Amino acid sequence: MWMTTAEPKSFPFSEPERLDPEPLFEELRQQPLTRVRLPYGEPGWLATRYEDVKVVLGDRRFSRAASVGRDEPRMRPLQSPPDSILSADPPEHSRLRRLVMKAFTQRRVELLRPRAQEIADGLVDGMLDRGAPADLVEDFALPLPITVICELLGVPYEDRADFRVWSDAFLSTTKFTPEEVGRSVELMREYVAGLIAQRRGTRHVQERDDLLSGLVAARDDDDRLSEDEMLSLAQAILVAGHETTATQIPNFVYALLRHPDQLARLRADLGLVPRAVEELMRYIPLGNGAGIARYATEDVELGGVTVRAGEPVLPSTASANRDPAVYSDPDALDLLREEPSHVGFGHGAHHCLGAPLARMELQVALDVLLRRLPDLRLALGEEGVEWKDGLSTRGPERMPVSWARAGS
């Protein structure tokens, strides 16, 4: 029987190679939890099996609020602020989530689909007008979700260059120094505070139906959240509201181009796009492999190991999504897969609030790209793709693409 050791393993175990999974995860899934030490914070347990990861994400004996005041294990110098929704447990987490959840319901998101479609088509029109090659990241993947979240939240699109830098700093592992990260977070908070001040100054003369105005009303009229909570919530939505989609669009295209049989299947039947989005979310390891730490509030038996009260556990959704105990041939991309749902958007109370919006945007993006650019391909081959470095999300920084004929 494999035994844990007192000395934690350094994590990450290896440098990520494009979108390839961490090789050691396959071995670790055969063992109990693994003690690890991340670049920042105290040591913790790493959960790699699907069932263990779901327990850590969904069982209330594992707490995010318990991380407040602790030096939690993490990849980034930045810790989640104590007033953040990411640092809360129910019922406080539920209270904050309810304030914004109506903007991300399936029904509300479907009402946004025609606008997302219009934006995506307009971006492809621009690519076609300028001609190949185009950068799929700058010319399509970034502006699509940024435009949507700006309109939803009520943030000026023309400020996108600033909050894109702040977003990278927020997600930085090594790209920025801790001092640069702290300064960017401060600038972003000042920016959001300025937008809130504008809303307060005009709300009695100009009614606005955006999420930021709704937060201001919830704060000023109903006292349902504090000033700090409002600021943190707006910042989190602005970053998370575009980052996953902007990163996954080129990831999806890259993965499909590396699997021409699956790409041909999808091109032949665009009705498979929703299923393709789910399988690609399972298949692609978006993050670095270690999720946000949860702290055990009592002794918990997990994966054959007793996690003591007060110990942190990091759930690896990237590993869980490749668990052969759950998925047949887990390292294969299969757009017709019908096995259990992935945990790419998390699980439990902290399941991604914006998952319906991200799903819709990813569906629209794939549909438009495959319909309008049926022979989309890498303009400079795989070597021409430049990958992000020093961030907690994995994906292309630049992805030159070309096509043979004009879209319709």
- Is 15 inside a domain boundary? no
DSSP-derived 3-state class of residue 37: strand
DSSP 80: P
Q: How far apart are CA 47 and CA 52, in angstroms?
A: 6
Q: How far apart are CA 133 and CA 125, in angstroms?
A: 14
- Is 229 inside a domain boundary? no
- Is 371 inside a domain boundary? yes
Q: How far apart are CA 32 and CA 73, in angstroms?
A: 19
Indicate which CATH number applies to the domain containing 120: 1.10.630.10
What pLDDT was estimated at residue 2?
40
Q: How far apart are CA 183 and CA 242, in angstroms?
A: 21
- Is 217 inside a domain boundary? no
Kindly report the pTM of this predicted structure.
0.93
What pLDDT was estimated at residue 204?
65
Q: How far apart are CA 130 and CA 138, in angstroms?
A: 13
Burial class of residue 252, CB neighbours in 10 A (0-12, 13-18, 19+): buried
- Is 40 inside a domain boundary? yes
Q: How far apart are CA 195 and CA 155, in angstroms?
A: 8
Q: E strands within 238-368?
A: 294-296, 300-302, 305-307, 312-315
DSSP-derived 3-state class of residue 151: helix
What pLDDT was estimated at residue 46?
97
Are β-strands 305-307 and 386-387 bridged in parallel, bridged antiparallel, or unpaired? unpaired
Q: How far apart are CA 55 and CA 341, in angstroms?
A: 15
Q: How far apart are CA 288 and CA 279, in angstroms?
A: 19
- Is 266 inside a domain boundary? yes
The mean pLDDT of the chain is 91
Angle between helices 160-170 and 178-202 (to 10 degrees): 130
Q: Is there a cis peptide before residue 274, judged by omega within 30 degrees of 0? A: no
Number of domains into which the chain is organized: 1
Phi, psi dihedral angles at 37 (to 5 degrees): -125, 120
Phi, psi dihedral angles at 300 (to 5 degrees): -130, 130
* Long-range contacts from 117-121, C-beta under 8 angstroms, 24+ separation: 117/364, 117/368, 119/143, 119/144, 119/147, 119/148, 120/144, 120/364, 120/365, 120/368, 121/368, 121/372
Which residues span the domain enclosing 352? 22-151+244-402
Both ends of the chain: CA-CA distance in Å? Answer: 61
Whether the Cβ atoms of residue 160 and residue 408 lie closer than 8 Å to each other: no
Question: CA angle, corner 225, sides to 224 and 228, nearest 5?
Answer: 165
Q: How far apart are CA 104 and CA 99, in angstroms?
A: 11
- Is 88 inside a domain boundary? yes
Whether the Cβ atoms of residue 170 and residue 185 lie closer than 8 Å to each other: yes
Element (H, E) at 121: helix 106-130
What pLDDT was estimated at residue 221?
79
- Is 137 inside a domain boundary? yes
Element (H, E) at 35: strand 34-37
Question: CA angle, corner 81, sides to 80 and 82, nearest 5?
Answer: 115
pLDDT under 50 in the chain at which residues? 1-5, 406-408
**β-bridge partners, 45:** 35, 313
What pLDDT was estimated at residue 15?
84
Q: E strands within 84-133?
A: none
Q: How far apart are CA 227 and CA 213, in angstroms?
A: 14
